[in-house]
Structure 1
Amino acid sequence: MRVTDQGEQAVPAGPKALPHTVGHRERLRCRARSAGLNHLPDYELLELFLFRSQPQGDVKPIAKALLSRFGSLAAVLAASVEDMMTVRTQDLKGRTKAVGMETALDLAALHEVAQRVAKEPATRRPVISSWTALLAYIRLALQHEPREQFRVLYLDNRNQLILDEVQNRGTVDHAPVYPREVVRRGLEVNAKAMILVHNHPSGDPTPSRADIDMTQQIIRAARPLNVEVHDHLIVGREGVTSFKQLGLM
């Protein structure tokens, strides 16, 4: 209770308002338990994961900065550790804070877990009979990859996956491919068939003239060795293009 200069009693002072961050973590966890994780917006779902990487402090600005920088939750997880660590935000006192190595590694690990889970259905059955699962896996792996990447799925005589191997990583619009090396590696792992896969960081999965020519070179190199090229898939943010469906092979 306060006393005025005239000795009169004043209205008791109310409690000082606490920062909105106080108790935020527990409130968010309670909401996740009661409403379900699927009802949380992307930034809050990302916050929940960041609680483990950063046991103290407000992680909401970091979650929102990551989503703003990369555009979506999927793109955040697919970003490289180096790119994630370029993200900056400010705390309540205006101090600049960067996404640290530990946080970036945790997010990259989450993306790797998601890829392995998506890959499982495509490896348990012949790839041809689990085509939908295969497409889901390669989209998750490559849809937001910022640089062009060329990989080969090597299959056995039952069309089951032997090896998913990145042959080359390149620039934003080119990854070098060496047809003889692609086929040689297939012989090393005793593959009987291959599915070629690469991404277009531009987002448009339309095959280029160079893509078509390279595919034909690999087919010609593999044919004398009785190794079949089932398809060439191009992944972009707009979807996946199949050379076989387009009649390009």
Structure 2
Amino acid sequence: MPRRLGPMCATRAFHEAALPLFPGDGDEAAAAPIAGRLPSYIADHRKRLRLRFQEGGAAAMPDYELLELLLFRSLPRQDVKPLARRLIDRFGDLNSVIAAEPVRLLEIDGVGEAVAQDLKLVEAVAQRMARARVMHRPVLSSWAALLDYCHTAMAHRATEQFRVLFLDRKNVLIADEEQARGTVDHVPVYPREVVKRALELNASALILVHNHPSGDPTPSEQDIAMTGQIQDAAATLGIVLHDHLIVGRERELSFRAQGYL
């Protein structure tokens, strides 16, 4: 057995109209005809944050302030600073907030489905952008972009996930598929299913990817054994296993670079 490698809740109708991320100075008041104007200290705080972002970008702001900017759109009539801090306190950093499962986000006081949906939208956009840099391109010559994509997609997940990247004869990425999800320290992987899918896609090579929620990408004996099983099964059909990447919080480990392949 491999190492234990490794929808949004039904959406209620939203009663608030969608608002732009950076509305004009008077928009908070216009957006809240029932509740009235935002208190001046909240409106002024929002102006200051927007200005800092526009002038200095994300580097000028801590995680909780970037999160506030996101929450302005979801909660246009509230002071969102306390909620931003609660989210950071619970999950640790902005990346982990964005990567959290909707059910966990909804456990936080002040997070409704509109907030959870907007946060997951940010995650989806980030992953789509990172994926676009590697999809349908020669992977081995775009290695840094591939590592960035894997990190974006998997580094902050709370449970293990196993993905397979399928390549053609020119090592162009033709498919990127999640094969399994597991628990915090286990995900079932079946070599026969991996190879079967490679044949269906007419893939000539594979790259395996999974994450370690602990943050440490060091492979276990089960990781190594499972990788060998997939390599052997693929080789009998002329399919090459280029690498197995383990994604940790701060870095990725390459089986090939470490001599395991």
TMscore range, shorter length: 0.7 to 0.9
Change (3 A) 1:34 1:128: closer
Query: TM (normalized to structure 1)?
Result: 0.85
Change (3 A) 1:29 1:244: same
The alpha-carbon deviation at position 72 of structure 1 amounts to 0.9
The alpha-carbon deviation at position 26 of structure 1 amounts to 2.7
The alpha-carbon deviation at position 38 of structure 1 amounts to 3.3
1:65 matches 2:71: no
1:142 matches 2:154: yes
Which residues of structure 2 form unaligned runs of 5+?
1-38
Corresponding position of 2:244: 232
1:105 matches 2:117: yes
Deviation per residue, 1:122-173 (Å, 9 max, x gap) = 1252000000010011011111111111110001111111111110001110
1:82 matches 2:112: no
Corresponding position of 1:12: none
How far, CA to CA, are the matches of 1:60 and 1:20 in structure 2?
A: 12
How far, CA to CA, are the matches of 2:165 and 2:56 in structure 1?
A: 41
- Between structure 1 and structure 2, the one with the greater Rg is 1
The within-5 A match list for 1:1-249 is 20-88=41-109, 98-249=110-261
The alpha-carbon deviation at position 76 of structure 1 amounts to 1.0
Which residues of structure 1 form unaligned runs of 5+?
1-17, 89-97
Query: TM (normalized to structure 2)?
Result: 0.82
The alpha-carbon deviation at position 28 of structure 1 amounts to 2.5
Cα root mean square deviation, aligned: 1.5
How far, CA to CA, are the matches of 2:142 and 2:55 in structure 1?
A: 36
Deviation per residue, 1:15-48 (Å, 9 max, x gap) = xxx7732533233223333444431222111111
Corresponding position of 2:26: none
Change (3 A) 1:222 1:29: same
* Higher normalized contact order (CA 8 Å, seq sep 6+, divided by chain length): 2
Equivalent residue letter for 1:164: D
Deviation per residue, 1:213-242 (Å, 9 max, x gap) = 101111111112111100000011131111
How far, CA to CA, are the matches of 1:37 and 1:81 in structure 2?
A: 24
How many pairs does the alignment contain?
A: 223
